[in-house]
Amino acid sequence: MPTQNPLLEKTHLPLFHAIQPQHIVPAITYLIKRNSQEIAKLLKQPQFTWENLMTPLTLLNEELNFVWATIRHLQTVMDTKELRQAYLKVLPQVSRYFTQLQQNLKFYRAIKTLAHQPLNPIQRKIIKDLMLDFRLHGIELKPQQQKKLRHLQQKLLTLTNQFAHHVLDATNEWYYLATAQEISGIPPNDLSLAQKAAHALKKKGWLFTLDAPSYLAVITYANSRTLRKKLYTAYITRASELGNPRYDNRKIMREILKTRVTLAKLLGFKNYAALSLATKMLHQPQRVISFLKNLVRATKKTAQREYQELAAFAKRDSIKHLQPWDIAHYSEKLRHHKYHLAQEELRAYFPLAQVLTGMFKIAQRLFGITIKEQKEFSRWHRDVRLFKIYTKTRKLAGEFYTDLYARKNKQSGAWMERVRSRMRNAKIIITPAAYLNCNFTPPINGHSLLTHEEVQTLFHEFGHCLQHLLTQIDYPEVSGINGVPCDAVELPSQLLENWTWEPSSVKLVARHYQTHKTLSPQLQQQLYRSQKFQAGLKMLRQLEFALFDLTLHLTNHPQVQKTLNTVRRQVRIVPWTKFDRMPNSFLHIFADDYAAGYYSYKWAEVMAVDVFSQFKHQGIFNSKIGTKFLNTILTTGGSADALELFKRFCGRVPKITALLKHYGIRKT
């Protein structure tokens, strides 16, 4: 065992302050070698039981998973040249280890013997999932085919990482120095940050980047149409041939799609969509297509009316033809006109400290939990915080880190990831932990103020954390978010967003950062009414992404831009440009687990609205309904079939009717 390696220390949470890139390769190499040797010994036993096979195997893999999760996390939030090199060096080793385990014939036969033994329902679910994993990793293939499969999987890992790194590098590289004549309309806080960014580079003016807070400030508020177009063009052409050719993702996308097709066919599937859906709730591609197209048909007329309203409003500023760089700008103006409500006006009422306090109070009232901040712990950045969650009986349920501000060398977007999963080791319960990552505007003059959209994002990711941390399942394979299908795992996160709109819950979250006053009843009602603003256009945008993703993976000779344009002609209402290269930075499907699964957000939202309708009917803080959701969904993880759990809560299968009603969309 390597000495003085913080990645191998037996700690519950990582020793981030001590971890260096040079620790990565020795730690992973040691763990994989040790695990492989120990597994070989386990498989030599004359007879197998859960206790002599699955229990020790789980302990071995959870230790590796913990270290690997730490490395992956650091690479996404604190990327450096040295860290990236070390990460990419061990990535094939980790992939090869898990693939070989799932192609191990002795392990497969051992698991089959367990399937015929007396097991509890959770153990049976784990065995069922394992048997599917064996099939999807080629256990039925000949040795040469298995070797080819391993090669394809490692190739995919390399390609998807290259894709993500190109997006990050292209985003980090670009900036624009605006002059005083160009910055009209941009809020003072955003201008202050832009000026500081310029000073940091010893330049004059206002420096804007493609990081979310900076980009959104310009595209939403800048009165200069030229400036909006400049940033929009840079953003929508990231990692393409129209930007820095070093980061062009076209070839990588083609290779990813080609490799996925080859992999799917090798495993006996018609296309990659069929392979991806084998582990999801909806299973069949046609069911997903039908679901998405039904929503398109139901939504399109509403979206058309919304777009006509927006276009007519923009004509007041002599905008005869709306362009993509006009949509966010005039949508925000129209929102203010209709509801006398502006995102920037609301920002003053959403200081991060109050939002967190209110969010925790809402969770306490719904689920009986208590959340307390831990002050002393090992950080990877000074902005990181750590919180502990306690159950009704004051037992520690789990912990989560927050890393909420945008910065250079941090992956864009917002996401939750596992630190470790809940499990039982002998008589000891190892509690779970999670990362909650966002890219909000950094504090200005000591104040971190969120837009309402950012508040929704925070609630969304917190919903993921709750599912992972409140689990009562002691088997890590299916505890927390583990073993939950991709199209079911978004249910808690989508559900929790609803509390960012309701007047009685907004009171807990919103408090002016200077006067400490809550939103007036009038503002609360205006916010509530605005929930349906451009609901049709927003719905179509998500449906466009989902249909593009699925269509792309249904064909065995995919052409990215052609597929996108075909889908857009069927779905899109708002204009797009010939230079639009959105797919080149579409991380969800080219660098994440949502390939042929982006529809999951809409499917989960259907379920979330169904669930929330019970709260609406019986009280949004109804602890009885909250406890039912806690016990049915949040604590159960992947220990039972996702559809059965939903039916256990709602008493029926999901329907799109509640979703359409929720957003005021009349089904046609």
- Which sequence positions are flagged as catalytic? 461
Q: Give CA–CA dist 149/654, Å, rounded.
A: 36
Composition of the chain by helix, strand, coil, percent to 5:
60, 10, 30
Give Cβ neighbours of residue 570 (< 8 Å, ≥ 6 apart): 296, 547
Number of residues that make up the chain: 668
Written as one string, the DSSP assignment of 436-455 is: EEEEEPPPBTTB-B--HHHH
Tell me the residue ranges of DSSP E strands in 323-440. Answer: 370-374, 385-390, 396-405, 415-420, 423-425, 428-430, 433-440
Residue 385 phi/psi, 5° resolution? Answer: -125, 160
Start-to-end Cα distance in the chain:
66
Q: What is the CA radius of gyration of the chain?
A: 25
Q: Are 441 and 448 in contact (CB under 8 A)?
A: yes
Handedness of CA 387, 390, 396, 400 (dihedral sign): negative
Structure tokens at 76: 């996404």
Q: Could you tell me the strand order of the sheet in which 396-405 lies?
A: 370-374, 385-390, 396-405, 433-440, 415-420
Q: Give CA–CA dist 332/292, Å, rounded.
A: 27
Q: Pairing state of beta strands 423-425 and 428-430? A: antiparallel
Structure tokens at 436: 């909650």
Per DSSP, 478 falls in state S
Residue type, 573: I
Could you give the C-alpha distances from 50 to 41, 143, 474, 485, in angstroms and in order?
A: 15, 28, 14, 24
Written as one string, the DSSP assignment of 9-64 is: S--SS--GGG--GGGHHHHHHHHHHHHHHHHHHHTT-SS--IIIIIHHHHHHHHHH
Residue 418 phi/psi, 5° resolution? Answer: -80, 140
Q: Give CA–CA dist 38/61, Å, rounded.
A: 11
Q: Give CA–CA dist 294/547, Å, rounded.
A: 12
Q: Give CA–CA dist 351/438, Å, rounded.
A: 15
Nearest Cα residue to 24 out of 57, 63, 72: 72
- Residue-wise over 403-416: b if at least 16 C-beta within 10 A, else e? bbbbeebbbbebbb
Q: Say what angle helices 600-618 and 285-314 make with each other, to 10 degrees.
A: 80
Residue type, 43: L
Question: Is residue 333 helix, strand or coil?
Answer: helix
